[in-house]
Structure 1
């Protein structure tokens, strides 16, 4: 996700952009209400599609093409399923991934209140501690405010010159590793959408192990690279990590106390409320929220349309496969078949497709095998964490390319060995998980 959380975003906003922002806001407000009246979910879907329609001309060409292809295949598959006399609830075309999208929108509000402190004129630190501080900073802040953290740290580190290879490796790998475990990351929303019975505690525990291993690997890689080039890191302060830590603990606690509530619902409801409460304590509410709605929310449609179209694609595929049994060349779901599924999603990711496309394809195909939902969630989280780092057209790498002028294919070449090495650890994790 890109920056856009400042009050200045409200300046020079045209009416069309304002309408997009309000449409997205109505979508996120309507989603929790669906617990009491399901029709609110349809209304949220209409709001999100309206926002995407209003920004169709300004949307990236790649996103428009992917949305058309995925939505076309999904709608066609649902129609074919209906012609074949399969039961099809066509309202599912509008409801797919709505809870996930609303979680992403809700999390964006945290960027208003959870940002690392900046001190003007402060010298960038060097040495081992600077590497560690940079990795922890981008990882934990990225786990909460997503791409905004990447840009905050990246802008500060590139003040004097363009980002070095060591800095790019540190930022991209440490940021994407948050997808292994963070409940606020889009990856967790996708995992819980396509593996709804997965246990959050198991996903976060296994994901935290993989993330810690990744950070260790990244630290030694960056230290080796910094032998040949001076590494200037980010001046992290530990007292600024209290809010990301508090948020993660709060989500786990609420989920423990009210297990009937989904994680997506808890985050969708709690993130904006935490933001509102913090802004009230600071004494400024209306201006930051107005700027966020007309700026950040109005500009989220590139992300929203991808998840909307992936939801249509997955719904159509599920409707067509209903009652057909498994079409995969194996009859049971175990660590090895999980590894093959993970490899398939990763292959699509490095080919330039977003991980959510591979997940929305493989998820319905695996369901007839009655897979362990937590193991399924692990492969979804891992493919996102590593596919984002190595995929040349991932949202993160495209953002790095556009903002700092570093070629996406170059980033892929730098991160490919890391992805392959970590994939071995993912496979070992699946083997251990199967035997527990």
Structure 2
């Protein structure tokens, strides 16, 4: 049996079940009933707190009599508990300390920087009260975020001490309103001070372009290294609560070559021999390139869909192959078209009217549309999913054409809601 831990999506569990494998999904208790109803083809069990070692021990005791072949993280949120559960079951194939390196933003930056790869300067703190001192040390402005996970929660660009005080007064680092119950299982629901692993403070970089790269290795053999460019810097999109998106680049273009080189170097620094990783990189106004973030495991579903449309790669199947220690069989689509996606960001609240998807699919280059709704995790930004973002995938003869088509189609998709704020600030 394969046990898949996931917070907000079921893609990987679906992949195992689709192969006829005995599959069990371990999900937040708050999502258990919905997952059972939506996917009756395999077993589901609930967990209240992914960070509670005693609860993981309980799960291990329940699983011990079964023939468990592997325990796999279905999203980045679950990498650490999946590793801990493998250890409790005697299935350990990577140590918890190594997984901690790959799931803790501060530790990742330390290891990557130690290999001579440029990153923004950063410090780790335990409390919001320590942020001002670090800001004075690094120099204002700074970026504040949880060390582990977060998906955009509590991320703030802080201009100076007075702005920090204003953000605290406005509740920017306090528990957001309307947070779904399932996120409390991650320890993210009680404010930044209580987030697992502590707080990361970084020197802010004036980002001109931001990129991502998807790298897959099997026993040191590179199977693919695919670069993409975000439509706009992620921090800007998060802070301004606007949609995001990205475009796959010509892998031989100058920017793509730099992105791929830095991604491979970061993977080497992290000791990745087998696995799928997602690296985010940025080019600043000073012309310097920096590695921004790094995470392993099954990628965000919207990125997975982007690769499927462009190259015909089923990433859920690929990650399932890796979990069974098989060399993934990848057949590349040789079409030369470029693919881009863009998100549709409605206001929070109950939807009362929306543009029909059929009219959006009539726009030039549109391949697929995903209607705005509250549902499973489909993006790289948790706030987009909580607000029910929709997505448009477009093709073009060049990356720029695909990007402009996706942005135009997303902008034309109108969604009206009765305002129900998620944030308290």
Flag the structure with more relative contact order, 1 or 2, with Cα contacts below 8 A and sequence separation at least 6: 1
TM-score scaled by structure 2? 0.29
Name the structure where helix makes up a greater proportion of residues. Answer: 1
What is the TM-score normalised by the length of structure 1? 0.28
More strand by share: 2
